[in-house]
Amino acid sequence: MKVAFISILSNLEIRTEINSNSYAGMELIKAGANIRGYQDRQFMNSIGTFTFRGFMNKPCLYMNEEMAPEGSRLSQMTEGMIRVRGVVEYILLSLWLVKDNAVNADLIVSRSEDGHIIENKAKTTLSTSDGEFGSTQFSEQELKDSQRWFSLLGETAFGNGVEKRGMPGETTAFFHYIESDKLSPYHRADRFQRMLRFIALARSQSSLFAKITFYISALEAALSTSSSESDVQVTDSASRVLGNDSDERLQLTRIISTAYAFRSTYIHGSVHDQENFKNKMVPFESAAELADGMDSILRKMTKDFLTELNHVPALPEEEFSVWIKGFPG
The one-letter code for the residue type at 52 is F
pLDDT over 80 at 319, yes or no: yes
| For residues 7-34, average pLDDT | 83
pLDDT over 50 at 174, yes or no: no
Which is more confident, 176 or 294?
294
Please give the pLDDT value at position 75: 85
Radius of gyration over alpha carbons of the chain, in Å?
A: 21
What is the DSSP track for 179-245? Answer: SSGGGSGGG---HHHHHHHHHHHHHT-S-HHHHHHHHHHHHHHHH--STT--HHHHHHHHHHHH-SS
Taking Cα atoms as reference points, which of 188, 220, 192, 214 lies closest to residue 307?
192
Per-residue model confidence as pLDDT tens digits over 180-239 = 344 444 455 688 989 999 999 999 999 999 999 999 999 999 999 887 778 999 999 999
Instruction: Give the three-state DSSP class for 293.
Output: helix
Please give the pLDDT value at position 20: 58
Q: Taking the domains of the chain in order of start, what are their residue ranges?
A: 2-187, 191-325
pLDDT over 90 at 122, yes or no: no
Per-residue model confidence as pLDDT tens digits over 107-121 = 899 988 888 888 888
Taking phi over 0 as left and psi of -120 to 50 as alpha, with beta for the rest, 182 belongs to alpha
Q: Which residues of 135-149 are buried (b: 16+ CB within 10 A; e: fewer)?
A: ebebeeeebebbbeb
Taking Cα atoms as reference points, which of 62, 61, 44 lies closest to residue 53?
44
Taking Cα atoms as reference points, which of 224, 191, 220 lies closest to residue 312?
191
pTM of the model: 0.87
In eight-state DSSP terms, residue 315 is S
> For the CA atoms of 218, 211, 284, 134, what is the dihedral angle to 10 degrees?
120
pLDDT over 90 at 67, yes or no: no
pLDDT over 70 at 277, yes or no: no
How far apart are alpha carbons 276 and 267 in whole angstroms?
14
The angle, 0 to 180 degrees and rounded to 10, between the axes of the packed helices 274-281 and 246-267 is 160
- Determine contact, residues 172/166, Cβ cutoff 8 Å: yes
